[in-house]
Structure 1
Amino acid sequence: MTARVRRICLLVGSGLLVSGAAGPAGEGAPSPPHGSEARFVVELEWPRENIARTLGVARSELGMYARGNPFQTRDIADLTCVVGPLFALDIDDAFAFDIDEPVDLVVTYAPELTGPFSVGFNDNGGDGIGESATIEPESGSTFATARVTLDRARFAAHGIRDTDLAIGGPEGIALCDIEVVRSHATPVPDGYGTLRLAVEDAASGRPVPARFGLYDETGRAPLPSERSVLVHRFVDEVRLLWVNPRTWWPSEHRLAFYVDGEYEARLPVGSYELVATRGPEYRGYERTIEVRPDETTDLTVSLERYANLPAEGWYSGDSHVHIAREHAEDDAVWAQIAAEDIHVANLLEMGNIAVTHFKQPAWGEAGQYVREGHALVSGQEDPRTVHRGHTIHHNLQRPIRPDPESYFLYHRVFEASRAQGGISGYAHMGQLFNGERGLALDVPFDLVDFIEVLQGGRLYDDIWYSFLNLGFNVRPIAGADYPYFGPTLPGVERTYVKLDGPFAPNEWYNAYRSGHTYVSNGPFLEFRVNGREMGSELRVARGQSLEIVTEASLNPDIDRLNRLELVVHGEVVATATPASADGDRLRLATEIEADESLWVAVRAFGDRDGERDMTVAHSAPVFVVVEDDPWWKLEAVPELVARHRAKLQELLTEPIRPAGDLEYWETTRLLEEEWEPQRLRLEPRVQEADARYQTLLDRAAAAATSS
C-alpha cells in the first residue's frame, strides 16, 4: 500500500496545533455561533456525494468519544482518505433531513490504518441515539468495505455542529469513501393539526417554564417549533436535548425540549404521549393527546408540587453550569434554568492555562439576572489542570484570570476570591483530574470552602470525610456540570440552601457560607441537633446528651426512599427504613452522648443505588464542640495526615501528563513548558502545608496521650 500525507490538519505527536489554527476549534472549523468552542473540532476537506461537511472531533454528541490520535488527509492508492479517531458527518439536508427510515451506509476504509470501529447516528424513538455493532476490519487488501444499516435513521442535525453521523474507534480509522443509501420509506403523514400548550403552576396559576417530551405512537419526537426555547449546548444551538438514563423522566423515550410558559406547533395527525417535569419539587405530568387534521388542540398543563421548599426557606442552586452569555439578561438561558426550577445557576467561565470558554458578560450584581425567583450568576471554573484538579469560584465581583506563568499557584486565586467575598472550592468530588493533590495543599491554609461531592449520579464522600475528620470545616456542594457528564442537564444534581428571609442571590451565598445546606439529586432533608440546623457549631459539656431529629422525603415519581442514615465521624450510627413499600417520608429521632467533639450529618438514599446512578442526599454537618477540642476523629488523624502528605509529594514528584487535560489540544505546550519552573515555586508552599500537617499530628498525639 502506498500512502502520501497531503495535509496534517492538527495534532502531531505532542498534541500541538501545527496548522496555524486561529482558535481552539482548530484550522478550518466553522465559526462558532455562540461563544468559543470548548470541544475539539476541525473541518476536513473531503468532499463526498450527499455529505455537506466532514469534521474531525473528540466528542460527537451522538454517544461516541475519542482522544489523542492525529487527523490527516492521505492519498492511498487512488483514493483520498481521512485518518483519525472520530469523524462527524453532516448529511446534505437536500438529500435527507428529519427522515424516519432504514438507511444503508457503505463504508470504504483502509484496513492497515483502521481498528475496530462503529457508527453513531441520530435515530427516532428511545433516546434518539443509535449505534451500530462494532465492525472488525478485514485485512489482506488495500481497501475493504462494510455495509451498515441504520435503523430508523433521522438525520436532524442533533450531533456536534449540526452533524448527523459519527464514525470511528479507539484505534482510529482511515475513511476512504462513504455512500449513503436511502430506502425512501419515511411515512407520509395523513395530515396536520396544531397543538397549543399553556403551562402553569397548579397552586398559583401563574405561567412557568418546564421541560417537555412529545412522542408519537412509534416513539418519534417531532422537531420542536420555534416557540420552544433555543438552548446552548457548548456552541451548538439546539431545541431537542437528550435526557440521560440517570435523570428522572416520566417516559421511556428520552428526547426533550423546553417551553417558557406557552408553546405551539404544527404536528402530523395522530396520538401522542405528552410528558412534562419541573425539577424534583414537582410531580411529573403525563397524558395522551390527539392531534386531528386541520384542528387546534388547546391544553393547559398544570404542574402540581410535591413539595414547596421555598415556602420553608430552602432554595436550590446548581454549582456548576457552563452556558455562555452575551448579555446578562439572557431570557433563553433563564428559561432553561427556570424550567428545571433552579433558583441560583452558577454560570461558570471555564479556563485552562491557554484560553477561557463559556464567557460571561458581567460580574457581581451587574452579572446577575434575577427574574421570578430564579437567578443567573457569573462564576468561574479556573484554574483547572490535570495535575492538581479543577477549582470553582462563586459570587465573584470580577473574574480572576491567572496568567500562564503562575497558573499552578492556585492559592493566589483562592486568596483573591476570598478578598472579593467569593466562595471557592474543588470540583468533581475532589477526585477527578488529581483534585486530591490540590486539596491536600490548599485545605490546611483554610482556603477551601467546599468540595463538589455529588455529580454524575454519584456521591463521593471519602475525600470530603477525610478533611472533616481532621477538623476542617469544608462544606458539600453539588452541580451537574452541564453540558458535560453524559451530557447531563442543569440541576440534575443540586445544592439546597436555607435562607432566613426573602430570596436574593447574595443572601443565598451568605447562607451557604454559614453551612445551612445539603446536596441532593432527589431527596429533601431536614436535620437538627439540639434544635440547631445543619452547618451550625454547637458547644456542649462533655457527656451532654444530643437530641437529633432528622427527616427525609422524596418525590415518589423519582424513586422510593430506601433508608435515612445518621453519620458521626463518617460512620453510620443509626438508620431508619420505610415501614411500607410506598413510603415517601422517613423520620429518625435519637439521642447520642457528646463524649468528645464530633461532627454529625445525615444522608438519605433511594432504591436506585448504582455506583454512578444513585438517588441520594447528604447534609452539611453540625459541628459539636466539647471543651474547645477539635471535632476531628482522633484515632484516624495519623492515617489521614499520612494520606494527604503523600498527595503533597505526588504533586511535586509525579510527572505532568498533559494528554489527560480536558482541552489537551489547547494546553499541552504550555503545561509542558510551565510546570517545572512553577513546581519549584510551589515547593515552599508544599513545605508549609506539610509543616501544618505535622503540627496537627503533634496536637493529636498530645491529645491521645492526655486522654
Structure 2
Amino acid sequence: MNHDPMMPPQVERALREYRALLSAHGMTWGEPPLGYVRMMPFLRFPEEADRMSIRPDLDAEFRDTLAGEVPRGLVALRLTADGHRLKHRLEHGQARPLLSPGSVPVILLVDSALPHPVEVTADGVPYGIAAGGARLLDVTTATMLTVDGEEVDLAGLTRPAPAARLRLRAGFPCRWSVTSADGQGWYPEGVPERRDNDDRPFFHGDDIVLAVPCEPVTIRVTRGMEYGIAETTVVPRTGEETLVGLAPQRLYDAAARGWYGADLHVHMNWAGDLVAVPAEAAAAQLGEDLHVLNLVAGNVAGDRVYDREALQHWAGRDLPWSDAGHVARMGVEYRNDLFGHVHVFGVAAPPAVYHTGFGADADWPPNAAVCGDLREPRAVLGYAHPFHGPVSSPEDVAANGTRNCSGRALVVDAALGLVDGVEVLHFGDLSPAPGTAEVYRRLVGAGNRLAALAGTDTMLSFTRQDTVSSPPGWERVYARVDGPLSAESFAEAVRRGRTFATTGPWLELTVNGLGPGDTLGLEGGETVAIRARAVGPEVEHIEIRTAAGVLAEGPGHEITASLSVADATYVVAVVRGGPHPRSPRGRAYAHTSPVYLDVRGRHVAREEDVRWCLRWLDLLDELVRARARLRTRAQLRDHLDLIEKARAVYGARL
C-alpha cells in the first residue's frame, strides 16, 4: 500500500488518537488540570485572560473579568428572572454573514443572575449552572440549546448573504488575511480559521480560491519578517470570481548574505481546538518563508508526549517538504517546570527522557544529566522561554520556587558547557527590555559562550490563542551558515554563536570586521572599531553594549563606536522599536550574539557577573533542598553535585 509521505501510518494513528481526545475532552484533550491547562479555553481572549486570577471557578472569574463587556468572537447568554419566569437574551456583535446553508462555531458564555441553579443542554449534553454562576461552552449555530428545557434561538447570530469568490495570487506562498468591515475573517474551504496575536485572521498558500460576501473585503498579504505588507480592498460581484494579484515587497534577503532564519520551538500538537497535520506545518513554513523549522515533541501536563510518533519516524531526517531553501526537522522539548525547559534541534534519535517533575514523577534526573544525554554530535540545545518578566537580581530568577517554567538550572548547564544558547526572544516576555536578555548578558559576562536564540512556542493545534496561534517564525534566530543550508550547517552556525534573534529587524554587528560568534585576540590597550546597522521600518533605537553596559546608543538604523580594550570583554548590538504593523504585540526587538574580545588569551569573566551567577547557584541550592520533589538522598546529591561543579567553574573565573 502506498502511503502519503506526509502521513506515515504511525503518525496517522497518533492523530486519530488526538482527535478522539479532542472529541471526548474539548481543547484540553483531558490533560491533568494544571493552571495553564485550565486557562486554555479563556486564553482565546488574551487581553481578558491577562486580567484573570486562577481560582477554582474560572468560568465565573472570566465572566466577572469581562464586567459586562462582550469581546469580539464571544456570544453571551444572559439568564435573568422575569418575575417567576426565566428570561434569557443573547449578546453578541454583528450577525455573521452566512454564504451557504450550514453552521458556524460559537464560543458561548452562559451567565446566570438567577438565585437558583439551572440546567443548560447543548445537543442533549447537560451542564449544571450554579446560582449566579457561569459556564463557557463551545457550540455551533446549529446546536440545540436549552435552558431548563426552554429552547434558545441562535438564528440571530448569522444572516444570509450573497456569495462571490476571490482568487488570491502572489506568485509564491504567502500569509493572507481576508476580512470584511466587521472584522470577520474569510478562509478557503477546509482551512482552519486561525487568528494571530493581533487577532487578525490568516491562512497560507498561493493561487487560492475562497468564498466571500458581496460587500467590501480587505485583502492583506505578507510573507514573514523579510517582507513588507501589501493591502487592497475589493467589492466582489455576486456569483463571480475576482482575481486579486497582490505580492509583498522584500525588505531584505538574508539567504543571499548567507544568513538563515529559524524558529527553534514550534509544536504541531499540544492539546488545542484542532488536531494539526504535517501538511499544515509545511504550508506555514513555506508561506512564512521560514528557512528552518524545528517541530518539537513534548508533553503538556501528564505523561503523553505529543508528536512522539512523528519524531520516531523522522528523527535525523528532513521532513518531506524540505528543499534547498527550507529545512524542517522533528526535535524535542525537554520539560521540567521547576528547573526549566530545553529545546533540541537536529536530534538523530528520540531521547530516553522527555520530561520530569510532572504528576508523581520526581524532579530527577537533573536538567544537566538530561542535557548531557541529548547533546549529540549534531544536535544543538537551547533553554526555552527561560524568564517571563523583568530580572534585576538572582532573587528574581529563583522567584520563590514557583513551578513556572523558569530556566533556573541554566546557570549550571551553561557553566558545564551543556547548552548552546538561550531563547533571548520568546512568547513569555514581550516587554521592550526582556528580562531574559538581561540574564543572557550576565551569563555571557560571567564567561559562558552562549548563542542568542529565538523560539515562539507556536502551537499549530490552536487556532485562537494569543501568540500560541500566531504563525511560526514571528520571532526568529538568524545564523550565518557556511555553504548550503542544511540541518547540520545551521546547527554548526548556532554552536559557533554566529546568530542574532529578532522580531523582524535585520541586525548587523562588526568589530574590526568580525561578526557575532567570532573572537578577536588582543594584547590590551588596542582600540577597536565597532559598527551596528539595522534594516526595518519598525526600528527606532540602536545600541552597542559591552560587558560594562551601554557603550553607544541613539535613534536611527546605524551607529558606530570605538573602544579602547584594556580587559577582556564582549560586544553585542541591540535594536528596539515601538508599535508598528510588523511588530508583534507592539514592540520590535533584536539582539546579537557577542563578538568576544579576549585579552592576552583570557576570556571575558567580569567579576560582578561571576558573583551574580554564584549568588544564583546559592539560591538554586536552597531551592533544590526546599522545593524539588526527590525520592532519595542520592537524587538530592545528584543535583547538589552538579551545583558544586558549576560553582567551581565560576569560582575559577574570579
TM over 0.5, yes or no? yes
SS of 1:219's equivalent in the other structure is coil
Shift of 1:355: 2.0
SS of the residue 1:435 aligns to: coil
* Distance change in 2, residues 1:339/1:29 (3 Å): closer
| CA apart distance, 1:616 | 0.4
Letter in 1 for 2:618: R
Q: How many residues align?
A: 552
With over 3 angstroms needed to count, the CA separation of the structure-2 counterparts of 1:502 and 1:128, relative to structure 1, is farther
2:619 to 646, 667, 673: 646
Give 1:306's aligned residue.
Answer: 251
Measured in 2, the distance between the counterparts of 1:696 and 1:209 equals 49
1:399 maps to what in 2? Answer: 350
Residue in structure 2 matched with residue 355 of structure 1 by the alignment: 304
Matches within 5 A, 1:277-316: 277-316=222-261
1:290-329 Cα shifts (integer Å, max 9, x gaps) = 311232212322332111111111111001100149x999
> Residues 115, 263 of structure 1: CA spacing in aligned structure 2 closer, same or farther, 3 A cutoff?
closer
Specify the code of the residue in structure 2 equivalent to 1:605.
Answer: R
Q: Larger % of strand: which?
A: 1
Matched letter for residue 563 of structure 2:
I
**3-state SS of 1:567 partner:** strand
1:608 Cα deviation after fit? 3.5
Number of the residue aligned with 1:475: 451
Hey, what's the Cα distance between the residues in 1 that align with 2:476 and 2:593?
Answer: 14
Name stretches of at least 5 consecutive residues in structure 2 with no aligned partner. Answer: 1-13, 32-36, 99-103, 113-129, 136-145, 355-360, 389-402, 460-464
State yes or no: 1:445 paired with 2:398: no
| 1:614 to partner: Cα distance | 2.1
Task: Show CA shifts across 1:640-664 (max 9, x none).
Answer: 311332123212222x5xxxxxxxx
Find out whether 1:410 has 2:367 as its counterpart: yes
Distance 2:278 2:155 in 1: 43
Q: 1:194 aligns with which of 165, 178, 187?
A: 165
State which of 164, 181, 184 in structure 1 corresponds to 2:107. Answer: 164
Listed one character per residue, the Cα deviations across residues 683-703 of structure 1 (whole Å, up to 9, x for unaligned) are: 244234235424533541xxx
Q: CA deviation at 1:399?
A: 1.4
Residue equivalent to 1:222 = 186
How far apart are residue 419 of structure 1 and its match? 3.1
Which of 386, 396, 414 is equivalent to 1:429?
386
1:181 alignment counterpart = 153
Asked which structure has the greater RCO (Cα within 8 Å, sep 6+), the reply is 2
SS in 2 for 1:502: coil
Q: Which residues of structure 1 form unaligned runs of 5+?
A: 1-23, 43-54, 71-83, 87-113, 201-207, 231-237, 246-252, 579-585, 657-674, 701-707
User: Counterparts of 1:301 and 1:411 in 2: how far apart (Å)?
Assistant: 50
Change (3 A) 1:166 1:453: farther
- CA distance in 2 between partners of 1:209 and 1:29 (Å): 29
Give 2:565's match in structure 1, choosing from 594, 597, 606. Answer: 594
Q: What is the aligned partner in structure 1 of residue 119 from structure 2?
A: none
Residue 547 (1) aligns with residue 529 (2): yes
1:272 aligns with 2:249: no
**Is the CA contact (8 Å cut-off) linking 2:18 and 2:29 kept in structure 1?**
no
Residue 676 of structure 1 corresponds to 630
Deviation at 1:595, TM superposition (A): 0.5
Q: TM-score, normalised by structure 1?
A: 0.69
Matches within 5 A, 1:454-473: 454-456=425-427, 457-458=430-431, 459=434, 460-473=436-449
The separation in 2 between residues aligned to 1:653 and 1:143, in whole angstroms, is: 57
Measure how far apart 1:268 and its partner are.
Answer: 2.6
| Shift, 1:220, TM fit | 2.7
Provide the aligned C-alpha RMSD in A. 4.1
> Is 1:31 aligned to residue 4 of structure 2?
no
Instruction: Give the Cα separation in 1 of the matches to 2:543 and 2:214.
Output: 51
Letter in 2 for 1:386: D
In 1, Cα distance between equivalents of 2:110 and 2:620: 40
1:603 alignment partner in structure 2:
574
Query: Residues 73-84 of structure 1: matches in 2 within 5 Å?
Result: none
Give the residue type in structure 2 aligned to 1:471.
G
Q: Give how far 1:511 is off.
A: 1.1
Query: How far off is 1:223 after superposition?
Result: 4.1
Counterpart of 2:643 in structure 1 is 689
> Are the aligned partners of 1:119 and 1:168 in contact in 2 as well (CA < 8 Å)?
no
CA contact (8 A) 1:368 1:378 kept: no
Q: Which residue of 1 aligns with 2:3?
A: none
Letter in 1 for 2:295: L
Q: Deviations over 1:602-651 (max 9, x none)?
A: 00111339997421000000111101223021244334311332123212
Query: How far, CA to CA, are the matches of 1:481 and 1:37 in structure 2?
Result: 21
SS for the counterpart of 1:151 is: coil
CA contact 1:566–1:572 (8 Å) conserved in 2:
yes
Partner secondary structure for residue 630 of structure 2: helix
Q: Please state if 1:377 is matched with 2:326.
A: no
In 1: Cα distance, 2:489 partner to 2:594 partner: 20
Looking at structure 2, the residues matched to 255 and 611 of structure 1 have their Cα atoms a distance apart, in angstroms, of 15
Structure 1 residue corresponding to 2:197, chosen from 230, 241, 244: 244
Summarize deviations over 1:28-58 as a string: whole Å, max 9, x none.
997147999983549xxxxxxxxxxxx9984
* 8 Å Cα contact 1:429-1:454 kept in structure 2: no
Query: Structure 1 267/36 Cα, relative in aligned 2: closer, same or farther at 3 Å?
Result: same
Deviation at 1:342, TM superposition (A): 0.7
Pick the aligned partner of 2:479 from 485, 497, 500.
Answer: 497
Distance 1:185 1:485, change over 3 A: closer
Q: Give, as a single letter, the amino acid of the residue that structure 1 aligns with 2:316.
A: G
In the alignment, which residue of structure 2 is the partner of 1:105?
A: none
Letter aligned with residue 372 of structure 2: E
Report the Cα offset of residue 409 of structure 1: 2.5
CA distance in 2, matches of 1:38, 1:270: 34
Asked whether the 8 Å contact 2:422–2:451 carries over to 1, the reply is yes
Report the secondary structure of 1:676's partner residue.
Answer: coil
CA contact (8 A) 1:272 1:290 kept: yes
Cα distance in 2 for partners of 1:679, 1:357 equals 32
- CA shift at 1:551, angstroms? 0.6
Kept in 1, the 8 Å contact 2:187–2:210? The answer is: no
1:540-588 Cα shifts (integer Å, max 9, x gaps): 111111111211111x2xx2x211100101611101313xxxxxxx221
Q: Does 1:210 align with 2:167?
A: no
Find the residue that maps to 1:677 and give its secondary structure. coil
State whether residues 128 and 242 of structure 1, in contact with CA within 8 Å, keep that contact through their aligned partners in structure 2: no
From 287, 303, 306, the equivalent of 1:339 is 287
Contact 1:324–1:347 (CA under 8 A) maintained in structure 2:
no
Contact kept? 2:383, 2:423, Cα under 8 Å? yes
Amino-acid identity (%):
21
Quick one: structure 1 residues 192 and 257, their matched pair in 2 at CA, closer, same or farther if it must change by over 3 Å? Answer: same
- SS of residue matched to 1:348: strand
Separation (CA, whole Å) in 2 of partners of 1:328 and 1:513: 31
Q: Counterpart in 2 of 1:256?
A: 202
The match for 1:5 is none
Partner amino acid for 1:264? V
CA–CA distance in 2 between the matches of 1:698 and 1:498?
32
